[in-house]
A and B are shown apart, each in its own frame.
Chain A
Amino acid sequence: MVATVTVVEATDAGPNWNTITNCRFNTSDEHDPVLTYPIPIPAAGFNYSYWKSVALNLADTFTRINNVRHYCDGAISWGLGTGGAVNRGNTGIADGSYVQSTGTPGTTGTEVVTGHSGIASVSAITSDTSGSPFTVDSANHDSAERTNHIVMQVKVDTDATNGVQTAETFTWIYDEI
Chain B
Amino acid sequence: MIPYYWLAEFGDEFIQQFDPATGVENLFSVVQDRLNELTCIGWYPVTPHMFKLIHIGDPDSPMVISNNDKYITVNVPDGRGCDVRIARRNYLSYGFDLRGVSLRTAFVLGLDGEEYSFMNGDGEVITDTNFNPDLEALIGKV
Contacts and interface: CB of A to CB of B under 8 A. Distances in A.
Contacts of B96: 22-25, 167-170
Interface residues of B, number: 32
Given A2-B2, A21-B100, A133-B132, A167 B90 contact: no
Contacts of B2: 1-2
A133 B133 CA distance: 10
B37 to A, nearest CB: 18
Q: Which 3 A-B pairs have the closest CB atoms?
A: A167-B98, A131-B134, A175-B87
Given A24-B96, A171-B94, 14 more contacts: A1-B2, A5-B92, A23-B96, A24-B97, A62-B27, A63-B32, A67-B87, A67-B89, A132-B132, A167-B95, A167-B97, A168-B95, A172-B91, A177-B6
B136 A130 contact: yes
Given A21-B99, A177-B88, A170 B135 contact: no
A23 B29 contact: no
B49 interface: no
A130 B93 contact: no
29 contacts: A1-B54, A2-B88, A20-B94, A25-B96, A62-B27, A67-B87, A73-B141, A130-B134, A131-B134, A132-B132, A164-B97, A165-B97, A166-B97, A167-B96, A168-B95, A168-B98, A169-B94, A169-B96, A169-B98, A171-B91, A171-B92, A171-B142, A172-B90, A172-B93, A173-B92, A174-B89, A175-B87, A177-B28, A177-B86
Contacts of B28: 63-64, 177
Nearest to B26: A63
Given A7-B101, A129-B134, A63 B95 contact: no
Interface string A7-25: 1000000000000111111
Contacts of B90: 5, 172-176
Contact of A175 (B29, B98, B108, B141): B108
A33 interface: yes
A164 B97 CA distance: 9
Most B CB contacts (10 A, CB to CB) among A22, A73, A167 go to A22
A168 B97 CA distance: 7
A175 B142 contact: no
Interface of A: 1-2, 5-7, 20-25, 33, 56, 61-64, 67, 73, 129-133, 164-177
Contact of A130 (B6, B86, B108, B135): B135
Given A24-B97, A167-B97, A173 B91 contact: yes
Contact of A1 (B25, B95, B136): B25
Nearest to B5: A1
A25 B99 CA distance: 14
Contacts of A168: 95-98
